[in-house]
Amino acid sequence: MDESRETRSGGVTGAKGRPTGGLRASGAVAWLLVALAVLAPTWAVAADAVAVLTEIRPGTGEVRIKRSEDADWTAPRALQGLRPGDQVRVTADGRATLAFTGGAAQSVTAANSPFTVQAARGQTGTDRAKGLMAGVTQFLLGQPKPPTYQALSVRAGGPAPRILAPRDTRVLPGPLVFEWAGPPRPDYAVHLMGTQGMVWEQGGVPRRPLPYPAAAPPLVAGGHYSWTLDIPGQASQQAQFDVIPEADAARIRAALADLAAPSPSGDGDSPLAIMRAGLFFEEGLYAEARRELMVAIAQDPDEPTLRQLLGYVYDRVGLIDLAAQEFEEADFLTSRKP
């Protein structure tokens, strides 16, 4: 990976395992990213799109698309919607995966390239699994176009501490992990509040993921909570989350089990992490979606679709600079040459 890639990368591990986390900084200069455009309600093609790109893996070749009305092949966008008549071309050992609004999935390789998108197709299998795939695909197609950002350099001593997760999200009942960014120091303090007051607190905590202790008071399904991150000499950070009711949790866990089942269509599955994260995102489980995507990116840092969806998650919870970094990384990964 060249040096230009290193300076472009976002808030997780970059390609070839090079760390890129947090707010980018050069010496004492941190970067503040400010949104310049309001999110549009949908992609321009979302109204008549019948498929969405859920995997773009060029390998030693390339992945390109051609709109039905265009003469030229172009680099795709992550989570790009495709209409009937659009084509996908893959060369060498590359691969692309499409999810259709009818619930089917299609893998495109050099062997079946160029592939022409037809009307939405369903897949065999249970109606529940088919409907679930279709619903997540429609949700992904409906995501807004990423806004335009401008980087403003400001003099600072380093990235300020701030809460990453759970942050303005719903969470599943069960294990919970508190995560934040900031300088490495051993004296962070975490305080958890419920509707009845203080639930749990712990001081002298280093900057690393902090699991909610099993011995602490159990969190109530359907309950509303807020937590505070305290740093000596700096302003406290606060975020809120809701534990979803058990009935909703059971429904979502059943849906996750359906997504894990292989597609019987033989066309190839949409990447599981994208479908799972899309389901979490649709349900307002942003912390769960972030965790799913972070694990997937650690295993496959060069997949732009993972980065794009993570950008949407960060944007939704107000981490605008991290969202911009992930959108930028997704663009870089789709446009680079092998």
Global model pTM greater than 0.75: yes
Tokens at 75, concatenated: 């680099």
Q: How many CB atoms lie within 10 A of CB 273?
A: 22
User: Distance of CA 24 to CAs 5, 20, 31, 285, Å?
Assistant: 13, 8, 6, 27
Q: In the Cβ-directed half-sphere of 294, how many Cα atoms lie within 13 Å?
A: 17
CA distance 29 to 154: 6
Range 120-153 burial, b when 16+ CB lie within 10 A, else e: bbbbebeeebbebbbbbbbebbbbeebbebeeee
Please give the distance of CA 83 from its chain centroid, rounded to a whole number: 24
Closest Cα to residue 283, out of 307, 250, 258?
250
Three-state secondary structure readout of the chain: CCHHHHHHCCCCCCHHHCCCCCCCEECCEEEEEEECCCCCCCCCCCCCCCEEEEEEECCCCCEEEECCCCCCCECCCCCCEECCCCEEEECCCCEEEEEECCECEEEECHHHCCEECCCCCECCCCHHHHHHHHHHHHHHHCCCCCCCEEEEEEECCCCCCEEEECCCEEECCCCCEEEEECCCCCCEEEEEEECCEEEEEEEEECCCCEECCCCCCCCCCCCEEEEEEECCCCCCEEEEEEECCHHHHHHHHHHHHHHHCCCCCCCCCCCHHHHHHHHHHHCCCHHHHHHHHHHHHHHCCCCHHHHHHHHHHHHHCCCHHHHHHHHHHHHHHHHCCC
Phi, psi angles (nearest 5°) of residue 312: -60, -40
Tens place of pLDDT per residue across the chain (338 aa):
443 333 333 344 444 333 333 333 333 333 344 444 334 444 444 458 999 999 999 989 999 999 989 999 999 999 999 999 999 999 999 999 998 888 888 899 999 999 999 876 555 455 666 677 788 888 888 887 776 666 555 445 566 889 999 999 999 999 999 999 999 999 999 999 999 999 999 999 999 999 999 999 999 999 999 999 999 988 999 999 999 999 999 999 999 988 775 543 343 344 688 989 999 999 999 999 999 999 999 988 999 999 999 999 999 999 999 999 999 999 999 877 65
CA distance 181 to 23: 9
| pLDDT score for 338 | 58
Q: Which domains does the chain have, with CATH numbers?
A: 51-146+247-264+272-335 (1.25.40.10)
Reported as a single tens digit per residue, the pLDDT across 62-83 is 999 999 899 999 999 999 999 9
| pLDDT score for 172 | 97
- Give ∠ CA 62-123-254 in degrees, rounded to 5: 100
Closest Cα to residue 82, out of 94, 66, 95?
66
Closest Cα to residue 184, out of 206, 165, 160?
206
| pLDDT score for 8 | 38
| pLDDT score for 104 | 84
Is 14 in contact with 106 (CB distance < 8 Å)?
no
